[in-house]
């Protein structure tokens, strides 16, 4: 019997392509997701956590107070070899070859080699003041001399020079961002005005156990406001803080992976059902010559198991390959950096098990059906399956039993932001929808067929033909429906994820780039206009700055803005409203400091002692913000100081920022440039990669559908040979015969595509709402164009699938009708 199974597999290899591809996609998807998630964690750990992984123990303050006090205590703990007090500051730096000053984040380098974590691309780490290692972004080479400007406590400008001794490769550290980084000795950081050390990194003596050392240190520091963690723990903690976004994505992808698996199961079940239906006579013949029902079932299941194992193995490979591809495309310059691939063993084993099991389970029902084939079936023609079978009713009941609670769980999960609940509900309800689709599709196809009656006799005939074998039509359409639903859900989900993330970023960082003069004389009035002409800069707004006295009696730095000019620059005014005449936008600290409230009033006093009352609007700003005119009325000496810039969405952010730095620097040597433009661009890139994967998925889903639709039509052509002959005899031309099958395919594919898009849009929007709902406000975005493209592609794919069967049908001679 096993020999029969094997030869059966060989003979039907082409037909098995559909189920094999289905398993490969599903397993590949799951494995790729798990692999990418692991790779992200590893890359993050390496990039962000590098400084912690090198230490056995890390001590951080719970209050934000400097921790230099505890450092001495730690040094005395037995088993501690060295401690490093990490200090940091920021400076303006002038690099040779660049006209503008850069804003550099400065960190101290540990004295003990065991605690030095920086990866050097070139040169060495600094050992003494006057030396610095810089990140690649700074654009300096070993041997360059950098001029650094710092401000002392009293605001006096100081200048110093350091020699670059090394270049540091920061890998995928997302904290690197737009700013350059410099690493100098602890003494140099102190000289530049260190911000108190916020953490102590501890190296143990050779062979110490990190956990044990952490416990010892914890005991020694008992009662102080510090957290003691092992280096590993701290690294994971830091990485998790930064991978929050990545984890949401992983979660979403896994949700879709689960759905993909369910889908694959259904596609496989359908393929096996069609396959066995085509082989009814063959199976019956086997029964006739003495095979028992049990032998038949075992043969079918063995076929499924072999297919499952082979396809799953392929899927694991494809998944890892896909992950590597994505990793290579995304690279490390992204908020979700990826370096190489880290393949977790669980992904490989899980993928294999899940794929094989899904195939086996999916084949169970068709296998049972196969055992019910009567030996006599070998001797009589196939009769079409009736619509109202017991299985059909069972399916209706089971479908409703799954959809109703599934939808309820999904609604509850979305409302309560319980991701797991809505995911479970989504999976459950989708399973139900698929079961219901088996019943719903034939009537919908029939109704649509009646609608297209105006398309002529062929359309009318096709409508009838499409619903002649409701079970088969339903199976074919469901396979396509599942693929389309999944793809649409992904596309809609990705669009909304992007919109939500962008809205969040826009509200939080309404300006792309900020250029500050850092000089009391003000910046040239021409600077905003000059910056606006840079390729890639969409709009610029100049702000003036002056001194205004608040209700507390202290004069403070206050900015003036022209709201009409600034409006097109800001990406969002959600968190930072623009002032109008008579309104002051105040920082949040003024609620406590000045006792003001949003919408209330505040009295501001000008240079000449004249007081004016303003309406208060609170916003995310460092300094009070007035209109330029209001600021001038209070402080006639206010000077142009700051430029807000908005960049073009498609521009190469790093290049534009470099040019802005150079232009600003050539006009105002002290000018500094900061901003978050790069974050936005990087996020777009991630979503684009995601969409690329989705497009790939669509491609494969379409391929499966193509095979499925083609399979079914080919079967119909064989079955309807006589009928097609009759039509030819009665006057249907060859072209019309082809049209008949094309209509039939389009009808089935079109209905599946439209239903799938509707379902997918629903699931996509609900999925986004429930996954992102917990993270804040969700912006739903519906990519009409892409969704329309899905309908068209899926329908056209169906049409294409009809080409080969249609050609075969058109070749049937009219006399075939009479060869009855």
Partner 1 sequence: MSAPVPVMTVPGEPPPTTDAVRATGLTRTYGRGATAVHALAGVDVAFARGAFTAIMGPSGSGKSTLMHCLAGLDAPTGGQVFLGDTELTRLRDDQLTKLRRERIGFVFQSFNLLPVLDARENIVLPMQLAGRRPDPAWFDAVVARLGLRDRLRHRPAELSGGQQQRVAVARALLSRPDVVFADEPTGNLDSRSGAEVLDLLRSSVRETGQTVVMVTHDPSAAAYADRVVLLADGRLAGEIDSPTADTVLSALRGLGA
With 0-12 / 13-18 / 19 or more C-beta atoms within 10 angstroms meaning exposed / middle / buried, residue 314 is middle
CB of 458 to partner 1, least distance (A): 9
| Distance from chain centroid for Cα 641 | 39
Q: Which two tokens stand for residue 533?
A: 């002409």
Q: Which two tokens stand for residue 66?
A: 């400097």
Torsion angle defined by CA atoms of residues 256, 259, 260 and 262, in that order, rounded to the nearest 10 degrees: 170
Choice between 128 and 380, CB closer to partner 1: 380
Q: Which two tokens stand for residue 183?
A: 């690493």
Q: Which two tokens stand for residue 206?
A: 């050779």
Choice between 294 and 453, CB closer to partner 1: 453
Q: Which of 261, 333, 325, 291 is nearest to 27 (CA)?
A: 261
The span from the CA of 744 to the CA of 483, in Å, is 19
Choice between 143 and 813, CB closer to partner 1: 813
Choice between 111 and 723, CB closer to partner 1: 723
Q: What three-state secondary structure class fits 511?
A: coil
Choice between 470 and 483, CB closer to partner 1: 470
Choice between 121 and 457, CB closer to partner 1: 457
Choice between 596 and 727, CB closer to partner 1: 727
The span from the CA of 246 to the CA of 248, in Å, is 5
CB of 818 to partner 1, least distance (A): 6
Which DSSP string corresponds to 392-418? HHHHHHHHHHHHHHHHHHHHHHHHHT-
Query: Max alpha carbon distance in the chain (Å)?
Result: 112
**Residues near 500 by Cβ (< 8 Å), separated by ≥ 6?**
768, 772, 775, 777, 778, 779
Cβ proximity of 151 and 193 under 8 Å: yes
Q: Which two tokens stand for residue 316?
A: 């694991």
The span from the CA of 442 to the CA of 452, in Å, is 15
Residues that bind partner 1 (CB under 8 A): 456-457, 460-461, 464-465, 468, 722-723, 726-736, 813-815, 817-818, 820
In eight-state DSSP terms, residue 376 is G
The span from the CA of 179 to the CA of 177, in Å, is 6
Question: C-alpha angle with apex 27: 21 to 29, nearest 5 degrees?
Answer: 100
Cβ proximity of 316 and 31 under 8 Å: yes
In eight-state DSSP terms, residue 174 is G
Choice between 468 and 623, CB closer to partner 1: 468
Classify the C-alpha dihedral 587-592-594-596 as positive or negative.
Answer: positive
CB of 740 to partner 1, least distance (A): 11
Residue positions counted in the chain = 820
Choice between 218 and 460, CB closer to partner 1: 460
Q: Which of 240, 202, 180 is nearest to 73 (CA)?
A: 202
- Find where tokens 């006639």 sit: 636
Choice between 498 and 720, CB closer to partner 1: 720
Q: Which two tokens stand for residue 645?
A: 């810039």
Choice between 530 and 721, CB closer to partner 1: 721
Q: Which two tokens stand for residue 246?
A: 């990545």
Choice between 464 and 699, CB closer to partner 1: 464
Choice between 288 and 726, CB closer to partner 1: 726
Each residue of 730-769: b (16+ CB within 10 Å) or e?
A: eebeeebbbbbbbbbbbbbbbbbbbbbbbbbbbbbbbbbb
Choice between 289 and 730, CB closer to partner 1: 730
The span from the CA of 689 to the CA of 684, in Å, is 9
Beta strand pairing call for 145-151 and 195-204: unpaired
């Amino acid at each position: 019997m096993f020999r029969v199974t094997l030869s059966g597999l060989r003979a039907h290899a082409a037909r098995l392509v559909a189920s094999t591809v289905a398993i490969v996609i599903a397993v590949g998807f799951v494995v790729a997701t798990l692999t990418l998630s692991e790779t992200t964690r590893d890359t993050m750990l390496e990039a962000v956590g590098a400084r912690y992984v090198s230490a056995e123990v890390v001590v951080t303050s719970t209050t934000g107070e400097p921790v230099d006090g505890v450092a001495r205590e730690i040094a005395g703990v037995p088993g501690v070899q060295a401690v490093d007090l990490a200090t940091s500051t920021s400076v303006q730096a002038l690099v040779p070859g660049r006209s503008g000053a850069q804003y550099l984040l400065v960190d101290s380098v540990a004295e003990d080699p065991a605690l030095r974590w920086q990866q050097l691309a070139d040169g060495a780490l600094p050992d003494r003041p006057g030396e610095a290692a810089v990140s690649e972004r700074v654009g300096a080479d070993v041997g360059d001399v950098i001029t650094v400007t710092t401000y002392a406590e009293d605001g006096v400008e100081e200048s110093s020079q350091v020699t670059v001794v090394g270049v540091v490769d920061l890998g995928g550290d997302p904290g690197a961002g737009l700013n350059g980084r410099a690493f100098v000795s602890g003494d140099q950081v102190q000289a530049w005005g260190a911000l108190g050390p916020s953490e102590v990194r501890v190296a143990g003596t050779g062979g110490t156990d990190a956990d044990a050392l952490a416990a010892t240190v914890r005991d020694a520091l008992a009662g102080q406001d510090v957290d003691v963690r092992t280096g590993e723990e701290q690294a994971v903690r830091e990485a998790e803080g930064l991978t929050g976004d990545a984890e949401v994505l992983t979660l979403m992808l896994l949700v879709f992976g689960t759905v993909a698996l369910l889908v694959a199961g259904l596609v496989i079940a359908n393929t096996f059902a069609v396959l066995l239906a085509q082989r009814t006579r063959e199976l019956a013949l086997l029964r006739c010559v003495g095979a028992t029902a049990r032998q038949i079932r075992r043969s079918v299941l063995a076929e499924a198991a072999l297919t499952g194992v082979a396809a799953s193995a392929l899927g694991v490979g494809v998944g890892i390959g896909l992950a590597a591809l994505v990793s290579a495309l995304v690279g490390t310059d992204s908020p979700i950096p990826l370096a190489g691939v880290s393949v977790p063993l669980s992904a490989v084993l899980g993928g294999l098990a899940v794929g094989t099991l899904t195939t086996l389970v999916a084949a169970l029902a068709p296998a049972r059906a196969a055992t019910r084939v009567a030996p006599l079936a070998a001797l009589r023609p196939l009769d079409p399956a009736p619509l109202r079978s017991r299985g059909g009713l069972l399916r209706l009941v089971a479908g409703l039993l799954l959809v109703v609670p599934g939808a309820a769980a999904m609604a509850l999960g979305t409302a309560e932001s319980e991701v797991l609940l809505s995911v479970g509900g989504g999976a459950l309800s989708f399973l139900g929808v698929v079961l219901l689709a088996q019943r719903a599709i034939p009537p919908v196809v029939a109704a649509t067929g009646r609608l297209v009656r105006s398309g002529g006799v062929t359309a009318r005939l096709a409508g009838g033909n499409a619903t002649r074998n409701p079970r088969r039509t339903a199976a074919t359409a469901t396979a396509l429906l599942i693929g389309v639903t999944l793809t649409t859900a992904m596309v809609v989900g990705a669009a909304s994820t992007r919109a939500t993330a962008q809205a969040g970023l826009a509200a939080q960082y309404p300006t792309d780039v900020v250029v500050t003069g850092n000089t009391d004389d003000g910046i040239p009035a021409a600077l905003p206009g000059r910056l606006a002409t840079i390729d890639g800069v969409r709009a610029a707004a100049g702000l003036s700055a002056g001194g205004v006295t608040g209700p507390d009696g202290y004069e403070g730095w206050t900015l003036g803005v022209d709201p009409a000019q600034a409006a097109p620059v800001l990406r969002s005014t959600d968190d930072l409203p623009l002032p109008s005449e008579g309104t002051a936008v105040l920082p949040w600290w003024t609620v406590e400091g000045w006792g003001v409230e949003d919408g209330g009033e505040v009295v501001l006093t000008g240079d000449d002692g004249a007081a004016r009352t303003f309406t208060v609007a609170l916003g995310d700003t460092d300094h009070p913000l007035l209109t330029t005119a209001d600021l001038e009325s209070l402080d006639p000496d206010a000077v142009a100081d700051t430029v807000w810039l908005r960049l073009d969405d498609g521009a190469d952010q790093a290049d534009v920022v470099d040019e802005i730095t150079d232009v600003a620097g050539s006009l105002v040597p002290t000018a500094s440039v900061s901003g978050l433009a790069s974050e936005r661009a990087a996020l777009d890139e991630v979503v684009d990669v995601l969409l690329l994967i989705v497009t790939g998925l669509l491609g494969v889903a379409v391929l499966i559908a193509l095979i499925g639709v083609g399979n079914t039509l080919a079967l119909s052509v064989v079955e309807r040979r006589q009928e097609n002959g009759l039509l030819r005899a009665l006057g249907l031309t060859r072209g019309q015969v082809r049209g008949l099958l094309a209509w039939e395919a389009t009808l089935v594919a079109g209905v599946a595509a439209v239903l799938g898009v509707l379902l997918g849009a629903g699931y996509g929007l609900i999925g986004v709402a429930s996954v992102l709902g917990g993270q804040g406000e969700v912006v739903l975005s519906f990519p009409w164009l892409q969704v329309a493209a899905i309908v068209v592609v899926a329908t056209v794919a169906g049409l294409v699938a009809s080409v080969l069967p249609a050609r075969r049908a058109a070749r049937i001679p009219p006399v075939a009708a009479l060869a009855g």
